Amino acid sequence: MTAAEEKLRDRIRHTRQAITSIACAHNRQDTEIQLLAVSKTQAADQLRSAFNFGQIAFGENYLQEALDKQQELSDLDIEWHFIGPIQSNKTRDISAHFSWVHSVDRLKIAKRLNEQRPAGLPPLNICLQVNIDHETSKSGVAPEDIMKLVDEVAALPKLNLRGLMAIPAPKACFDEEFETFKRVRDIMQKIPTMDTLSIGMSADMEAAIAAGSTIVRVGTAIFGKREAKTHR
Ligand SMILES: *Cc1c(COP(=O)(O)O)cnc(C)c1O
């Protein structure tokens, strides 16, 4: 094993240990919390190594970059999650090549993903992205508009509406992070059919798990600091 592979193995191990220990501290079962390795900008061989260390689910933000890696890694049974902003001309490939999409924030995109989901594949797992801090710069449906979108998306047969995703604005401390994530969870709990809360990244994973996260999306803590992005 190369030194780089050892480092990656240790980072995955530490991240899993952190999830277990945070879950324990907040009266949660670590088995309820899935680790999604966010692999944007990482080369395919990094994902291959991570897979060999037991990491099954990977999150990608940029479609073309993801499709290239999927081709290179087609011998591995990876669970692919799309987590980036979605332009409507990208929905066909997203719907055909991913198991999960976390970043649906409008009906038009949901309808296209539904229509374009290939026959023979199970329904596409969907999280609706909530713009929980009302940031103008950020994608996501406003909290006050979520219920309408939930009803509309729930009616689409080839989508399986699983839950909510959010990327809060940076906060100064744990309590503020927790309070924000808690607002996302409170919305989710009004929707009994939902079982998924996609919140928490490398820097705010603890507050997210304390607030009820079921999928943490972790990049930096697993792969190290990212180079500037090269794909769009
Ligand atoms: C990049 C990214 C992450 C991972 O962020 P880290 O801070 O590297 O853990 C999680 N979610 C989304 C939507 C991202 O774009």
- CB 61 within 8 Å of CB 165: no
Residue 190 pLDDT: 97
What is the arithmetic mean of pLDDT over 38-53? 98
What is the arithmetic mean of pLDDT over 60-81? 98
Is the per-residue pLDDT at 202 higher than 70?
yes
pLDDT tier at 231 (50, 70, 90 boundaries)? low
Is the per-residue pLDDT at 16 higher than 70?
yes
Bridging pattern class, strands 34-38 and 124-130: unpaired
To the nearest whole percent, how much of the chain has pLDDT over 90? 97
What is the position in ligand 1's atom list of the atom closest to the CA of 103?
Answer: 13
Residue 230 pLDDT: 56
What is the arithmetic mean of pLDDT over 51-76? 98
For ligand 1, whether the C-beta of 61 sits within 6 Å is yes
Is the per-residue pLDDT at 133 higher than 80?
yes
Is the per-residue pLDDT at 99 higher than 80?
yes
| 3-state secondary structure string across the chain | CCHHHHHHHHHHHHHHHHHHHHHHHCCCCHHHCEEEEECCCCCHHHHHHHHHCCCCEEEECCHHHHHHHHHHCCCCCCEEEECCCCCHHHHHHHHHHCCEEEEECCHHHHHHHHHHCCCCCCCEEEEEEECCCCCCCCCCECHHHHHHHHHHHHCCCCEEEEEEEECCCCCCCHHHHHHHHHHHHHHHHCCCCCCEEECCCCCCHHHHHHCCCCEEEECHHHHCCCCCCCCC
Cα(220) to centroid of ligand 1, in Å? 8
What is the position in ligand 1's atom list of the atom closest to the CA of 218?
Answer: 9
Residue 104 pLDDT: 98
Residue 229 pLDDT: 59
Give the Cα separation of 154 and 27 in Å (integer). 31
For ligand 1, whether the C-beta of 211 sits within 6 Å is no
User: What average pLDDT is seen over the chain?
Assistant: 97
For ligand 1, whether the C-beta of 140 sits within 6 Å is no
Residue 119 pLDDT: 96
What is the arithmetic mean of pLDDT over 159-164? 98
Is the per-residue pLDDT at 26 higher than 70?
yes
pLDDT tier at 227 (50, 70, 90 boundaries)? confident
What is the arithmetic mean of pLDDT over 34-63? 98
Residue 140 pLDDT: 97
